[in-house]
Amino acid sequence: MNDRTVCVYGVGSSHFGKQPDTSPSELAWTAVAEALGDAGVDSVDAVYVGTVFGAPGVAQRALHALGIVEVPILTLENACASGTTAYHEAFTAVGLGRYERVLVLGVEKMTAAFDGAIHPEDTDAEGRSGLALPALYAMSAARYVHEHGLTPEQLALVSVKNHRHALGNPRAQYRGDHTVEEVLASRLIADPLTLLQCCPIADGAAAAVLGPDRGEPRDIRIRSSVLRSGALWDETSPHVWGFDLVAATARDAFDQSGVGVSDADLFEVHDAFTIGEIVTTEALGLAEPGGGGRLVESGHTTIGGPQPVNPSGGLLSRGHPLGCTGVAQVAEVVWQLRGEADARQVGNARIGVVETMGGGVAGIDGNACVVSVLERPHAGPGAR
Amino acid sequence: MNDRTVCVYGVGSSHFGKQPDTSPSELAWTAVAEALGDAGVDSVDAVYVGTVFGAPGVAQRALHALGIVEVPILTLENACASGTTAYHEAFTAVGLGRYERVLVLGVEKMTAAFDGAIHPEDTDAEGRSGLALPALYAMSAARYVHEHGLTPEQLALVSVKNHRHALGNPRAQYRGDHTVEEVLASRLIADPLTLLQCCPIADGAAAAVLGPDRGEPRDIRIRSSVLRSGALWDETSPHVWGFDLVAATARDAFDQSGVGVSDADLFEVHDAFTIGEIVTTEALGLAEPGGGGRLVESGHTTIGGPQPVNPSGGLLSRGHPLGCTGVAQVAEVVWQLRGEADARQVGNARIGVVETMGGGVAGIDGNACVVSVLERPHAGPGAR
């Protein structure tokens, strides 16, 4: 639908982790300065921001101090997909010729909002039942195990893989070389999910600069980006919660991109909990329904395998500052496609996919899902 | 910049006021159902939502229960201008051909978030000094009085006028026939602002349906909509805080609309506090700097005068549910331009202007401002 090709010119991020003494502005400054420098751009026409728990004006506070003033600043909330929602709106704005240089910023300081996990809303049925997010994902996992016979070891392997990937990511919150046994022996949070199968509370910011194709070899082309919200979830469906939304969004994104899932060289997906990655790889079409456990077991999605998933460490290990996450995923894909991912580099990466799934309480099959297909358009240093 | 003319097809709103027993979804359902019915539209391609303090997913919770599913739902925060920011994004999306039918929803349940006034952020200099919003506006008023010699009576007249306007608005939160003496004798909140000069905490929702021009006589054409964020405020400026941002945004909006401020028949502006309307009428060009007090005194901005300001009662009397307000302003202008405003109808209204100013703490001259010029394109029942 866009009138012109859109590229990511540059990306940046803060460190990820619990950083209670670092303000949201400081997190944002680090990410934005890196992204602008990486893009070789010193001014922008508009800013799209993702945050969930940021105070009103959190972006303006940070941006005005950087001299980013007078341009439209738009702050979007779409639960865990807030950052990718901001990216999607920026992509569309550039594609339709509305702006020439757009900054995307994801910023979240979760340690300022919560002392433990995210509290459920007590106006939702889930909240009134005390069902926090780990419990919801645990129910999803239990249902999945019932339907497909996933083993605890297969589930734990997602955590093992992503934590090992994060060993190569100096920005990641947790970088641990864990065994399946260690993952299963970690503290039980919500059966069957143990501590190492749940993403941590994190603070962080990530940024990207988007614009029309300018012929720079380092720029990464966005082949497609699709945003959808979910339907009311049919609890009689054999698909667990979220599957249908991710599958529909991915189908549209691949259709619009002109490439298929088998063409993709790497994926950054929403592994807020281990079961999330299992279900998402199936919804994306990397495995048949019920095949997600065998997929991770096969090494297919490990760095060195044919189609690595979450080379950054994912939400489980890089961390999950909600509104930041989608932009951090985009940054990782850009680094990978350029061949700038150092110890976690995926070999000969030409096409990368970002998927973020946000929310989904109150009986909804996801508040929002964004899937985007990115491509290294020129032979560059990433070609190994 | 848009490729095609955009119209408001229909509008709706809940009642405004403290409604602690009404959920955000219930508020939204009332507004959305009215707007869809008014527009004669039964499905939409996308939804832009304004809210400041709404919980993550507040819009999805409401919309999915109405069967509005699978389409993009984008929730925007821009302080008091959140609703108009959502409207602006919808306007642009339709104008650029991205969508054919867009729902705009503003929803805010402030009684769920606050038991009194909005708390300042303690990470801001203002917050650390205990300067809540009434105090900030009071300092602005004190500076204005020093610069221009505004009298307490002139300031109070804004409240008298807007409360009297609200007598004709059955949806308004407060409908009181107050004298200047009563306004000045009401409880002092922050010198010189008394209780009746401060907008109340409110719950409410408003909605609008936008699409391309379809030739319907009842549709209201949007001649322009402009969104800007502010600059760092220069405290040595003779202009009080916010003036420069509103003036710059209004200048662009009038330029793009092809009409001038003298062509406008009515205005819905951001009178969160009486001083706000004084400053805003000057920034819009209705009066010279320093002339805002004499303007209201002259009756120029009263219903029956040449250019009524806030015929709905404004934020002071209709109420100010933050993320809802901008959409409520649009709804009022639409009702006025159609001649459907009953007891508060402005005679022969052909052109109306909406202005909302959001935020502006941390030394910033406004987080965002939106100004939009709307027009009744056909002779219809509003032509009196």
Cα torsion through B339, B345, B348, B352, rounded to 10? -80
Inter-chain touch A231–B97, beta carbons under 8 Å = no
Q: Which of B148, B178, B320, B369 is catalytic?
A: B320
Average pLDDT over residues B282-308: 98
Contacts of B71 in chain A (CB under 8 A): 228-229
Contacts of B72 in chain A (CB under 8 A): 227-229, 368
Q: Counting every residue, how long is chain A?
A: 384
Asked if residue B376 has pLDDT above 90, the reply is yes
CA nearest to B59 within chain A = A367
Inter-chain touch A60–B232, beta carbons under 8 Å = no
What secondary structure, in 3-state letters, does B294-334 show? HHHHCCCCCECECCCECCCCHHHHCCCCHHHHHHHHHHHHH
Q: Which pLDDT belongs to residue A362? A: 61
Q: Which pLDDT belongs to residue A248? A: 96
- Tell how strand A73-77 and strand A46-50 pair up: parallel
Inter-chain touch A229–B73, beta carbons under 8 Å = yes
The predicted complex's ipTM stands at 0.93
CB pairs under 8 A between A and B: 140
- Tell how strand B368-375 and strand B193-194 pair up: unpaired
Q: Does B105 touch chain A (CB under 8 A)?
A: no
Instruction: Give the residue, A70 or B127, on which the prediction is more confident.
Output: A70
Confidence band, pLDDT 50/70/90 cuts, at residue B361: low
Q: Which pLDDT belongs to residue B384? A: 35
Q: Which pLDDT belongs to residue A378? A: 62
Q: Which pLDDT belongs to residue B381? A: 47
Q: Are B173 and B318 in contact (CB under 8 A)?
A: yes
Average pLDDT along chain A, 384 residues, taken 10 residues at a time: 92 97 96 98 97 92 90 95 98 97 97 79 75 89 95 98 98 96 97 97 97 97 96 80 93 98 98 97 97 98 98 98 98 98 97 92 81 83 42
Q: Which of A165, A178, A239, A320 is catalytic?
A: A320
Chain centre distance of CA B17: 16
Confidence band, pLDDT 50/70/90 cuts, at residue B2: confident
Taking all residues of chain B, what is their mean pLDDT, rounded to a whole number? 93
CA nearest to B231 within chain A = A69
Percentage of chain B lying above the pLDDT 90 cut: 82
- Catalytic residue check, B320: yes
Which residues does A174 contact at the CB level (< 8 Å), separation at least 6?
Answer: A163, A166, A200, A313, A316, A317, A319
Inter-chain touch A123–B362, beta carbons under 8 Å = no
Q: Which pLDDT belongs to residue A361? A: 64
Q: Which of B70, B89, B229 sits opposite A71 (nearest CB)?
A: B229
Which residues does B12 contact at the CB level (< 8 Å), separation at least 6?
Answer: B30, B31, B32, B33, B34, B35, B36, B37, B38, B206, B207, B208, B331
- Catalytic residue check, A320: yes
Contacts of B79 in chain A (CB under 8 A): 56-57
Which residues does B67 contact at the CB level (< 8 Å), separation at least 6?
Answer: none
Inter-chain touch B23–A85, beta carbons under 8 Å = no
Q: Does A102 touch chain B (CB under 8 A)?
A: no
Q: Does B66 touch chain A (CB under 8 A)?
A: no
Contacts of B227 in chain A (CB under 8 A): 72, 74
Q: Which pLDDT belongs to residue B200? A: 94
Cα dist from B82 to A24, B40, B51, B86, B271, whole Å: 21, 26, 6, 6, 15
Confidence band, pLDDT 50/70/90 cuts, at residue B234: confident
